[in-house]
Amino acid sequence: MNGRSPIAPRVQAAALSNGAPVYLLENHAGATLDIVALLDGGLTIEPARRAGVAALTFDMLDRGTRRRDEWALAEALEGHGARLRYDVARETAVARARALSEDEALLIELLGETLREPSFPEDALRRAREETLVGLREAAADTFEQAYRRAAALLLGADHAYAREPDGEEAIVAALAREELVEHHARAVGGARLTLAVVGDIDPRRTLALLEASLGPIGRGAEAGEPAAAAAELAGPSDPAATGRGIVSARVPIPDKAQVDLVFMRPGVARTDPRFDAAALANFLLGGSFVSRLNQRLRDREGMTYGAESGIVSGRQPGCWFAAAGVEPDRVDRAAEIVREELRRFIEQGVGDDELARAKSHLAGSFPLRLETNQAVAAALLDCLRHGRDLETIDRYPERIAALTRAQVEAAGRELIDPDELVIVAAGACPA
């Protein structure tokens, strides 16, 4: 599917009997379909003292149900070339499913079965737990991950959903019991939290009937946006203010590393905020491409890094803005100075007309490429709706970007970045 054809007029909206909204879009260009299912909550309904229970719970959904064990589920999917995957993010859990259209009934059956009635078998749990622990040990040696986590902890608080490692903490994961996963599943899965998008070679009426039969029996569950009692200790502030502490810096020594990853962090902007598009464009100019200001300075002029980047990590919560670069240990201080210089230059000198025009053209021109697959369209539909925008917002994206003024982008940039109110963390081959 390409993004040049209007999407919104072709979307059919419905709802399951348990209240879950469903969005259906026919695309008969290929004999496949994709399903994306969002469950509101993610890490925000996971108690910080049980960090890792959300990820492990969803990792277990396709490792056995009351009807099929892990191997029978894998055989049913792989035997038909179908895929089903669960992941947990900061504010949502997500299922992504894909199959040939002739296997639609099987795919929806397996999606519903794994969501409705996972069995959490002890042998599979032991393997899943060990796989998670290996991943956490690897992450502990990843210089960017450790710099980012420490920066987010300093900015937002260590227990905030946007500061935590999604897979949890090693000591907690090692001790998680089956009963805790069963409890989290009951809290996290329900029609009140669920939204689905199905895109591809479908007959919407048939697809909706299949979804109702498979997913309709899931109870309504806890209301979306209302943390259950067991997760009442929701971690961290939901609307972080500016750091208010000047430059806050830290170093994370990691043995046997040849370089240092530097991460710079500030409070972000929620995707529901009317200023988000302008902030995203300001970020793109700063570090969102290989020709961004940070790359031109750090890589092209100074030769300090193979590449720098920046981004806004947010959802309904503001999250954070970050910039990052990998440098040699003896250039850490100078690289930090240069990044702050570029942030100050953006604030004081603003944006050039040609620079702004090129950025707008790139973002608008590349947007259709981001909607070339059924899964990408399904994800875009849910992302749009989750953040309070109507479906026409997708089709109007190029026009929205084109309409942003220089003053709007500069104002958003000034709110997003501040070289004098910044968390800076270096991780890798550096002293404590």
Q: How many CB atoms lie within 10 A of CB 432?
A: 6
Sheet of strand 32-40, all strands in order from the earlier edge strand to the far edge: 12-15, 21-26, 194-200, 32-40, 92-100, 83-88
396 close to 364: Cβ distance less than 8 angstroms: no
> What are the tokens at 271?
């995707």
What's residue 228's pLDDT? 38
Fold of the 8-231 domain:
Cytochrome Bc1 Complex; Chain A, domain 1 (3.30.830)
Tens digit of each residue's pLDDT, the chain (432 residues): 444 579 999 999 999 999 999 999 999 999 999 999 999 999 999 999 999 999 999 999 999 999 999 999 999 999 999 999 999 999 999 999 999 999 999 999 999 999 999 999 999 999 999 999 999 999 999 999 999 999 999 999 999 999 999 999 999 999 999 999 999 999 999 999 999 999 999 999 999 999 999 999 998 876 554 443 333 333 333 344 445 678 999 999 999 998 999 999 999 999 999 999 999 999 999 999 888 999 999 998 999 988 899 999 999 999 999 999 999 999 999 999 999 999 999 999 999 999 999 999 999 988 888 899 999 999 999 999 999 999 999 999 999 999 999 999 999 999 999 999 999 999 999 876
Measured from the Cβ of residue 15, the count of other Cβ atoms closer than 10 Å reads: 15
Architecture of the CATH domain 247-428: 2-Layer Sandwich (3.30)
CA end-to-end distance (rounded Å), the chain: 51
Is 167:135 a contact under the CB 8 Å cutoff? Answer: yes
Q: For position 3, what pLDDT does the model report?
A: 43
pLDDT at 4: 58
Q: Rounded to the nearest 5 degrees, what angle is found at the Cα of 235, between the Cα atoms of 232 and 238?
A: 100
CA-closest candidate to residue 367, choices 405, 394, 404, 391: 394
Please provide the size of the chain in residues: 432
83-88/422-428 β-pairing:
unpaired
Residue 98 is encoded by which pair of tokens?
Answer: 């894909």
Domain boundaries, the chain: 8-231, 247-428
CA distance 220 to 215: 11
Location of structure tokens 């959490």: 120
Q: How far, CA to CA in Å, does 72 sit from each of 9, 102, 213, 246, 365?
A: 40, 20, 21, 56, 44
8-231 shares its CATH topology with 247-428: yes
For the sheet containing 320-327, what is the strand order? 247-253, 422-428, 260-267, 320-327, 308-313
Whole-angstrom distance, CA of residue 107 vs CA of residue 37: 13
